[in-house]
Structure 1
Amino acid sequence: MTTQNAQTPAAASTSQGSHHWVLTLELPGRAAMTQSGTYTPPAGTTRYDAYQALRRYVAADHPEMSRANVMFFTLEPNQL
């Protein structure tokens, strides 16, 4: 059975970013959160640049987490 919204794996991957990321932040004794998503870094971006951009992205939606400790961060190519 197919649906109107069905996508082939190739079509689905092109609509996502080139990398998948996961970031877990913690305010000790107060709060913790994990966010994830896909991201296509500009040419020449380092892993550190991507990390900083993603922290800013998360903090923009959750300002209380802007000074949180990073408990986990991963950035991997979005392919299997």
Structure 2
Amino acid sequence: MSTQTSHTSSPAPAVQGSHHWVLTLELPGRAVSTQYGTYTPPVGWTRHDVFMAIKREIGEQRPELATANVMFFALEPNQL
């Protein structure tokens, strides 16, 4: 006699940063872009440091947004 046991498990959650951010940028008269993600800043960084790092990274990925106006920025701890 053979017995089979089946186990299913949920996939491990994706690793996320310690903070969740949302940034909306505008190129007046041309485009509005809202992006979001998670980020773990180095020890001692300020909110401004994180903002500048995220804005710089977006500008590197999408050069047309490097000089865009900031319409909205939020940075919160990524926990409930």
Unaligned 5+ segments in structure 2 are 1-7
Higher normalized helix content (fraction of residues): 1
CA RMSD, 1 decimal: 1.7
Residue 26 of structure 1 aligns with an amino acid whose one-letter code is E
- Structure 2 counterparts to residues 7-46 of structure 1, below 5 A: 7=12, 12=13, 15-46=15-46
Give CA deviations for 1:7-66 in whole Å, capped at 9, x if unaligned. Answer: 4xxxx37x1100000000000101110110000000000111000000011111110011
Distance 1:75 1:66 in 2: 20
Larger Rg: 2
- Partners of 2:58 and 2:65 lie apart in 1 by 8
Residue 48 (structure 1) aligns with: 48
TM-score w.r.t. length of structure 1: 0.84
Q: How many residues align?
A: 74
Q: CA deviation at 1:3?
A: 4.3
- Regions of 4+ moved over 2 Å: none
TM-score scaled by length of structure 2: 0.84
CA distance in 2, matches of 1:30, 1:56: 20
Among all aligned residue pairs of Structure 1 and Structure 2, give the percentage whose two residues are the same amino acid. 62
Gaps of 5+ in 1: none
| Amino acid of the structure 2 residue aligned with 1:68 | A
